[in-house]
Structure 1
Amino acid sequence: MTSCHDTSGGLVDARTGLAADPSAPSVVLVGNPNVGKSTLFNALTGARQQVTNAPGTTVEVQLGTWRGLTGTASGTGSDESGAVRVLDLPGTYSLLARSPDERVTAETVAGRGALGVPDLAVVLVEAGALSRSLYLLAQVAGAGQALVVALTMTDVAATRGVLVDPERLATLLGVPVVPIDPRTGTGLDRLTRVVSDALTAGVPPVLLPDAAPACSCHGDVACGTGCSCGRPLDLDAELASADRLFTWVDGVQRALASREVDAAVPGAPSSARPAPVRTWSDRVDRVLLDPWFGVPVFLAVMWALFQLATTVAAPLMGAVSSLVDGPVASAVRTALPGPHWLESFVVDGVLAGVGTVLSFAPLMGLMFLAIAVLEDSGYLARAAFVADRAMRAIGLDGRAMLPLVVGFGCNLPALAATRTLPHARQRLLTGLLVPYTSCSARLTVYILLASVFFPAHAGTAIFLMYVSSIALVVVGGLVLRATAFRDLRREPFVLALPAYQRPRVRALLLSAWVRVRMFVTDAGKIIVVTLTVVWVLMAVPVAGGHQIADVPVADSLYGRTALAIAPVFAPAGFDDWHASAALLTGFVAKEVVVGSFAQSYAVDEPIDAGVAGDLGSRLRATFESSSGGYAGAAAAAFMVFVLAYTPCLATVAEQRRLFGSRWTFGAIGVQLVIAWTAAVIVFQLGRLL
């Protein structure tokens, strides 16, 4: 028998080494978006969790160990008890998958995912949105999955006059229903006991109306919108199946509204429901969703995020760098016996890489916390609604605005912010556009060159760089949508607005800690190794009279490499090894470009990049010579190249962690081509002005 969307291999993250033990019982969390699923996962697993990608996809899932829960999966034939694995699946409204994220959820529920057949599904049902929650529950049950219901947001529903009796719902469904509040921990102990009993003794199936098969190869309603077996879906049968499920959902809702559980049949009369109550969230939304008031508030929030990434985190990053470069480096030098080259390798190579990783940790932590606060409070959904119209031009919805705005502060946390997007293809497209947002590190280069070459119009020159950045994002998005992302359909933006809530500090700190830890351990390895390679290039002499780790830049392997690639930039007007060497260091960090210029000219790095001093005169002389007298045009071309070419090493490492090597290295190649082409165009046009 041929199965659709067959997934081979286990849930193993090649970067973290996290493996799914096939002998341990497994529980999956299933629910609509914004129903509290991830909050429940964090409460159940604590710090014993890992963020990884489903095999063969860029879909992010979280796998952890259920604290305080051990059990034997019923029907496995095993008498061994062990830690229970719990997998947080992507939120979805239906198992008829239309996106990679929904497909991962549908395949896992149907037993074709990396976990195999889950032993139990905990389906989160939102008390205030029973219709869409019960429809998903019916599909999970229709896939043959044993389940337990976690009833969430009962307090929010009560403020709207909606009361759900969990005992009546349990009687109607025939399975345990546990009311919980994962934000406060209410009901989690009972949920743990119920799940433990269900893993040991099993639970009865939910009684559903007969469902017609949607897939003509084996009748799997969770198959999605297509089969890898090549056989078509029976759309008439799919619609009939959906109609029967909706009829069942309506019957359950009528029974809940009725005074008698015995009346729980389709078409039974229901008691009058209370009139909708206008809540505090409704009153706030009248302001935040209004175009005249909502847009300024949205811009203010985005500005605050920008400030967080550029000014608030900067002192913390500087403090960490000073600690590593100062006391820690001195202690290592004192404790490390041996030749000078070994000391330089450890301190200037390995330790410098570790310091770079650790210096980014405060920035990542603050940004993760800020995004989590916006998401947990309910405002992020409103921000997406307000920004949706502006993002339609490149085929994305309003949620993509957040990472793109953050990218103007720093590209690294901007990539982290893509996790707020609902679908993997949207996250990938946005992640490919983020490097074209001009981060604050590039600003130091703009200030130096603008003050040297355009002193009377420095502000205008810098402003034009940001305008160019926005143009690159828009044009890049349009090109990607027309080529590699033709399959990314622009669907109507339907978004369920969650009620405003007070964020829970402990849960937010835990979530931020897990993600920062993942960055440090995964992306950190790449950064340390690459910086060590850079040290080797700068330490190895290629001319006589020098020792290893004691060589001028011009006579090092690094300097000769820069000299070899300099002719590539002749059409852009800066075919000089000082410029190409600065661009090479820019792969590590864009702010290092200024320091590289100073080092290659053997002058002190200016305290204020706007007052270049001797460095400025040398830069002008170099660009005058390399451009044939068009120094201003060459400087503008250099600034454009810095804007468009590969982002810093930390960003590249995070891209690789999130999207894989193929997309990352392919993007690097495209970025270099675009940067070179744009620089050449700017220089050649500048010569004519």
Structure 2
Amino acid sequence: MSCHDASPGAATTTLDAPLVVLVGNPNVGKSTLFNALTGARQRVVNAPGTTVELQSGTWRPGGAAARGEVRLVDLPGAYSLVARTPDEQVTADVVAGGAALGRPDLAVVLVEAGALARSLYLLGQVARLGLRVVVGLTMVDVARSRGVDVDVDALADRLGVPVVAVHPRSGRGTDALADVVLATLRDADADADADAGRVRLPGTVDPVPVDPVPVDPAPDEVEALFAWVDDLVRAVGGVAPAGVRTWSDRLDRVLLHPVAGIPVLLAVMWLLFQLATAAAAPLMDAVDGFVTGTLADGVTTGLDTVHAPAWLTGLLVDGVLAGVGTVAAFVPLMALMFVAVAVLEDCGYLARAAFVADRAMRAIGLDGRAMLPFVVGFGCNLPALAATRTLPHARQRLMVGLLVPWTSCPARLTVYVLLSSIFFPGHAGTAIFLMYVASVALVVLGGLLLRVTLFRDLRREPLVLALPAYQRPRLRALALSTWTRVLSFLTKAGQVVVVTLTLVWVALAVPVVGGHAVGDVPVADSLYGRAAEAVAPVLAPAGFGDWHASAALVTGFVAKEVAVGALAQAYAVDEPDDPAAAGDLGDRLRATFEESSGGHAAAAAAAFMVFVLAYTPCLATVAEQWRLFGARWTLGCVGAQLAVAWLLAVAVFRVGALL
């Protein structure tokens, strides 16, 4: 796998460049250090054959003139190379040289000064595989606040490899780290058998031949490693004195309290929801207005000037540019949510929130860290999928990513308001509330079903977290991380959205009967309308087997908020400014549902609302699932959503018709 620069016009790292991997426990500062070393020269990739995300980029230690470029990969956090999760398995495979990346030339193992024992055990496992190592000692200041003052020189002398105190958040120590990495690589090139970067292991622990997957150490070797770690920690001053309490400890007495911590958690989740809805909406509208308004008008004027045919103008403006506008409108939302989640993670609160929410999430076999994506999902499913990266294991991220589309986002609310105001005018609020109750039920029941079928391997384990110290977020690191992830969305998921919306325009523009020009055809006489007619009989058992309804559902696959406009377009009436005052559209829709349901219009409307809740949320969400989890899981998820939506809609209609 080559590491390509994510920034336009930047250099490309080739496979000939040395491969350096960052290894360490979760929350030890790897990602922050990675951002500091690579800057904008990075991208998000998936480990081959997995849903595990890796950060891959270009590092120029000492400047390009000193050594050229280094391929730097930030591996998933791991406590051990005897893998218990897919994330740890990826780390173990890469360290052992059995992954597609190839065998690393060097591992920069980050060791937390305040948690030496946990970090040094992982270091011993990496060294056992014969990999050359440089040690980065992190969080030295936090350790000192707890009375732990690690002797860096003594640690380096006992290990036999360079040890550098680094501060990833401020960048202090990164130049010294670059110097020792270059020196170790240089010495290794000069003499392949040299001891440069070779950790001095205890005498009973011998390096093993490198296998594609590291072998489990024998019990006596494990015991020897633990004894070695314990001796090292005591020798270099890594033992914390008893009775030391910091302001972080005092704050945790409130934030982790089983009663006081809940209101704080709810307040933070409410702020995230507001960010995904009220704060993001004006920005999204502004971007969409510029692209589909100002920019579209300029393109139209330019095409008219050169007398371009009407179909070409429609293709470029209503097809391609509309797709670009849809993608661009999501950028402010994605950026806001990436920043918000990164702030919570960087400051240390996210781990505390997971602890407080853990009991509630246990109901569906997940731990408390799953709370964040589900809460964000009720604001928008797209950033909720991105928020799954805060979960520690790939299988958990996948399971949550499959459930998130059933959290009812505000785009669906427009459809709920329209139908409830038409068919349940005296109980519209109750009908809408029940849709949100049904959304929560779908998530819970879907999670329970997945736990006993596709995700039986997810073990129910107590939540064990190493709570990171509270820290002030660093703006530069946040900006780099946000830029990289937004760019990854634009270049991958964005392409799918633009292409699909262009194809939708083509289907709407191509007539299937004579007498119409391309791009100027009623929906009923277009390829799109005929496709809707073909789908309609499938929906007949649910009481809304009419092409107007099926056309709205097909359009809703692109974006739920345009489903109301699609209904108005299908009936050739004006779209209501307020869905609660449906006007002519309400009259047409009531008449259609009366006919298609055999006189049970209210039951058909309830079934339609349930179908809108349960089936695929929007094209952008599907594209993001594809980017994160791959084609197989995404297509399977879409198929399952459609099947569940149909079954629930039929059940609701049949029961409603009886009542």
Task: Indicate whether 1:500 and 2:504 are aligned.
Answer: no
1:67-86 equivalent positions in 2, closer than 5 A = 67-69=60-62, 81-86=67-72
1:211-230 equivalent positions in 2, closer than 5 A = 223=213
Aligned CA distance change for structure 1 residues 273 and 666 (closer, same or farther; 3 Å): closer
SS of the aligned residue for 1:97 comes to coil
Task: Indicate whether 1:239 and 2:219 are aligned.
Answer: yes
Residues 649-658 or 490-499, more deviating: 490-499
Rounded Cα–Cα distance in structure 2 between residues aligned with 1:159 and 1:81: 38
Rounded Cα–Cα distance in structure 1 between residues aligned with 2:451 and 2:166: 42
Deviation readout 1:245-275 (Å, 9 max, x if unpaired)? 00000110121139xxxxxxxxxxxxx9633
SS of the aligned residue for 2:69 comes to strand
Q: Is the 8 A contact 2:13 2:69 kept in 1?
A: no
Aligned match of 2:100: 114
Q: Is the 8 A contact 1:139 1:222 kept in 2?
A: no
Rounded Cα–Cα distance in structure 2 between residues aligned with 1:564 and 1:543: 16
Aligned match of 2:121: 135
Deviation readout 1:58-102 (Å, 9 max, x if unpaired)? 110011011344689xxxxxxx95311100000001111111110
Identity, % of aligned positions: 68
Task: Indicate whether 1:41 and 2:8 are aligned.
Answer: no
Aligned CA distance change for structure 1 residues 587 and 213 (closer, same or farther; 3 Å): farther
Corresponding letter in the other structure for 2:283 = L
Corresponding letter in the other structure for 1:622 = T
Task: Indicate whether 1:315 and 2:285 are aligned.
Answer: no
SS of the aligned residue for 1:292 comes to coil
1:209-358 equivalent positions in 2, closer than 5 A = 209-210=202-203, 223=213, 238-257=218-237, 274-336=241-303, 337=306, 338-358=308-328
Q: Is the 8 A contact 1:180 1:186 kept in 2?
A: yes
Structure 2: tracts of 5 or more residues without a match: 189-195
Q: Is the 8 A contact 2:128 2:205 kept in 1?
A: no
Aligned match of 1:267: none
Corresponding letter in the other structure for 1:636 = A
Aligned match of 2:505: 535
Aligned CA distance change for structure 1 residues 204 and 313 (closer, same or farther; 3 Å): closer
From 355, 366, 384, give the equivalent of 2:354. Answer: 384
Aligned match of 1:189: 175
Q: Is the 8 A contact 1:69 1:84 kept in 2?
A: no
SS of the aligned residue for 1:456 comes to coil
Corresponding letter in the other structure for 2:380 = C
Corresponding letter in the other structure for 2:322 = A
SS of the aligned residue for 1:257 comes to coil
Q: Is the 8 A contact 2:129 2:209 kept in 1?
A: no
SS of the aligned residue for 1:374 comes to helix
* CA displacement at 1:128 relative to structure 2: 0.4
Rounded Cα–Cα distance in structure 1 between residues aligned with 2:604 and 2:204: 68
SS of the aligned residue for 1:326 comes to helix
Task: Indicate whether 1:409 and 2:379 are aligned.
Answer: yes
Aligned CA distance change for structure 1 residues 343 and 222 (closer, same or farther; 3 Å): closer
Aligned CA distance change for structure 1 residues 287 and 97 (closer, same or farther; 3 Å): same
SS of the aligned residue for 1:96 comes to coil
Rounded Cα–Cα distance in structure 1 between residues aligned with 2:419 and 2:197: 71
Corresponding letter in the other structure for 1:442 = R
SS of the aligned residue for 1:122 comes to strand
Aligned match of 1:30: 23
Q: How many residues align?
A: 646
Deviation readout 1:444-494 (Å, 9 max, x if unpaired)? 111111111111111111111111111111111111111111112122211
From 34, 51, 56, give the equivalent of 2:49. Answer: 56
Aligned CA distance change for structure 1 residues 278 and 238 (closer, same or farther; 3 Å): same
From 64, 80, 105, give the equivalent of 1:94. Answer: 80
Q: Is the 8 A contact 1:71 1:199 kept in 2?
A: no
Q: Is the 8 A contact 1:213 1:221 kept in 2?
A: no
Aligned match of 2:398: 428
Aligned match of 1:207: 200
Aligned match of 2:411: 441
Rounded Cα–Cα distance in structure 1 between residues aligned with 2:203 and 2:409: 56
Residues 398-407 or 197-206, more deviating: 197-206
Aligned match of 2:164: 178
SS of the aligned residue for 1:610 comes to coil
TM-score, length-normalised on structure 2? 0.95
Aligned match of 1:263: none
Rounded Cα–Cα distance in structure 2 between residues aligned with 1:221 and 1:280: 46
* CA displacement at 1:204 relative to structure 2: 4.0
Rounded Cα–Cα distance in structure 1 between residues aligned with 2:12 and 2:224: 39
Rounded Cα–Cα distance in structure 2 between residues aligned with 1:447 and 1:604: 17
Q: Is the 8 A contact 2:166 2:172 kept in 1?
A: yes
Aligned match of 1:620: 590
Deviation readout 1:335-376 (Å, 9 max, x if unpaired)? 223100000000000001111110000000000000000000
* CA displacement at 1:115 relative to structure 2: 2.1
Rounded Cα–Cα distance in structure 1 between residues aligned with 2:598 and 2:528: 26
**What RMSD, in angstroms, separates the aligned Cα atoms of the two structures?**
2.1
Q: Is the 8 A contact 1:181 1:187 kept in 2?
A: yes
Aligned match of 1:589: 559
Corresponding letter in the other structure for 1:118 = P
Rounded Cα–Cα distance in structure 2 between residues aligned with 1:680 and 1:293: 44
Q: Is the 8 A contact 2:256 2:355 kept in 1?
A: yes
1:487-636 equivalent positions in 2, closer than 5 A = 487-636=457-606
* CA displacement at 1:220 relative to structure 2: 6.0
* CA displacement at 1:334 relative to structure 2: 1.6
Rounded Cα–Cα distance in structure 1 between residues aligned with 2:57 and 2:592: 57
SS of the aligned residue for 1:598 comes to helix
Deviation readout 1:654-683 (Å, 9 max, x if unpaired)? 000000000000111111000000000000
